[in-house]
Structure 1
Amino acid sequence: MKEDFLHYLWKFKKFETLHLKTTQNEPVTIIRTGDYLESSGPDFFNAQIIIGNQKWAGNVEIHLKSSDWYIHGHERDVAYENVILHVVWEHDTEIFRGNNTEIPVLVLRDYISAEIINNYNSLVAPKSWISCEKQIAGIDEFVFKNWQERLFFERLERKSKFILDVLQETSQDWEAVLFCLLAKNFGLNTNGNTFLQIARSIPFSIIRKESFEKENLEALLFGSSGLLDPEKEDVYFMDLKIRYFYLSNKYQLIKTYTDPLEFFKHRPDNFPTIRLAQLAALYHKHQNLFSKIIELKSVGKVYELLTVSAGPYWQNHYQFDKESRKKPKVLSKAFIDLIILNTVIPLQFAYAQKRGELIFENLIDFMKEAAPEKNSIIDKFASFGLTSKSAFDTQVLLQLKNEYCNQKACLKCAVGIELLKNK
Structure 2
Amino acid sequence: MREDFLHYLWKHKKINPTNLSTSLDEAISIISVGTHNLNSGPDFFNAQLRIDNQLWAGNVEIHIKSSDWYVHKHETDSAYDNVILHVVWEHDTDIYREDNSVIPTLQLKDVIDTGMLLNYKRLFNASKTWINCENDFASVSDFTVSNWLERLYVERLEEKSLLIQELLASSNNDWEAVLFKMLAKNFGLKVNGESFLSLAQSFDFKVLRKLKSNPEDIEALFFGQTGLLIKEHQDDYHSKLEEQYSFLVSKFKLDNAGVLPLKFFRLRPSNFPTIRLSQLASLYATKDNLFSNIINLNTKDDFYKVFNVSALHYWNTHYSFGKTSKASQKILSRSFINLLIVNTIIPLKFCYSKSQGKSIEDDIINLIKQLPLEQNSIVKRFNHIKPLGKSALESQSLLQLKTQYCNKHNCLKCAIGNSLING
Same topology, TM > 0.5:
yes
Partner of 1:83: 83
| Paired residue secondary structure (1:49) | strand
- Give the share of equivalent positions with the same residue, in percent: 50
Partner of 1:393: 394
CA distance in 1, matches of 2:248, 2:139: 61
Partner of 1:351: 352
Deviations 1:51-85 (A, max 9, x none): 11211223322222334445545556665444321
How far the C-alpha of 1:363 sits from its partner, in A, is 0.6
CA distance in 2, matches of 1:351, 1:100: 57
Partner of 1:370: 371
Q: Is residue 266 of structure 1 aligned with residue 276 of structure 2? A: no
How far the C-alpha of 1:421 sits from its partner, in A, is 1.1
CA distance in 2, matches of 1:211, 1:126: 58
CA distance in 2, matches of 1:235, 1:28: 86
Partner of 2:14: 14
Higher mean displacement: 101-110 or 183-192: 101-110
Partner of 2:160: 159
CA distance in 1, matches of 2:146, 2:304: 29
| Paired residue secondary structure (1:20) | coil
Partner of 2:203: 202
CA distance in 2, matches of 1:257, 1:18: 65
CA distance in 2, matches of 1:67, 1:193: 49
CA distance in 1, matches of 2:325, 2:77: 69
Partner of 1:112: 112
CA distance in 2, matches of 1:61, 1:122: 26
How far the C-alpha of 1:276 sits from its partner, in A, is 0.6
Partner of 1:52: 52
CA distance in 1, matches of 2:67, 2:17: 24
Change (3 A) 1:102 1:163: farther
CA distance in 2, matches of 1:220, 1:85: 66
Partner of 1:62: 62
Aligned residues: 422
Structure 1: gaps spanning 5 or more residues: none
Higher mean displacement: 85-94 or 300-309: 85-94
Equivalent residues of 1:234, 1:321 under 8 A apart: yes
CA distance in 1, matches of 2:97, 2:247: 71
TM-score, normalization by structure 2 = 0.94
Change (3 A) 1:376 1:284: same
Equivalent residues of 1:76, 1:98 under 8 A apart: no
Equivalent positions of 1:296-311 (< 5 A) are: 296-311=297-312
| Paired residue secondary structure (1:146) | helix
Equivalent positions of 1:2-401 (< 5 A) are: 2-36=2-36, 38-72=38-72, 74=74, 80-95=80-95, 102-124=102-124, 125-401=126-402
Higher mean displacement: 266-275 or 51-60: 51-60
Equivalent residues of 1:299, 1:369 under 8 A apart: yes
How far the C-alpha of 1:132 sits from its partner, in A, is 1.8
Paired amino acid for 1:397: L
Higher mean displacement: 161-170 or 105-114: 105-114
Partner of 1:410: 411
Paired amino acid for 2:66: S
Change (3 A) 1:77 1:281: farther
Deviations 1:230-275 (A, max 9, x none): 1123111111111111001101112314332111121000001100
Change (3 A) 1:100 1:342: farther
Equivalent residues of 1:208, 1:287 under 8 A apart: no
Deviations 1:256-307 (A, max 9, x none): 1433211112100000110011111111111211111211211110100011
| Paired residue secondary structure (1:58) | strand
Change (3 A) 1:17 1:197: same
Paired amino acid for 1:355: Q
CA distance in 2, matches of 1:62, 1:219: 62
TM-score, normalization by structure 1 = 0.94
How far the C-alpha of 1:382 sits from its partner, in A, is 1.3
| Paired residue secondary structure (2:267) | coil
Deviations 1:386-417 (A, max 9, x none): 23311111111111111111111111111111
CA distance in 2, matches of 1:10, 1:54: 20
Equivalent residues of 1:372, 1:394 under 8 A apart: yes
| Paired residue secondary structure (1:4) | helix
CA distance in 2, matches of 1:234, 1:105: 81
How far the C-alpha of 1:380 sits from its partner, in A, is 1.0
Higher mean displacement: 187-196 or 256-265: 256-265
CA distance in 1, matches of 2:231, 2:296: 42
Deviations 1:325-359 (A, max 9, x none): 11100000000010011000000111112222111
Paired amino acid for 2:36: Y
How far the C-alpha of 1:318 sits from its partner, in A, is 0.2
How far the C-alpha of 1:140 sits from its partner, in A, is 2.6
Equivalent residues of 1:378, 1:397 under 8 A apart: yes
CA distance in 2, matches of 1:169, 1:99: 55
Paired amino acid for 1:58: G
Deviations 1:185-221 (A, max 9, x none): 0110011011111110011010111122101111111
Higher mean displacement: 413-422 or 11-20: 11-20
Paired amino acid for 2:403: N
Higher mean displacement: 358-367 or 142-151: 142-151
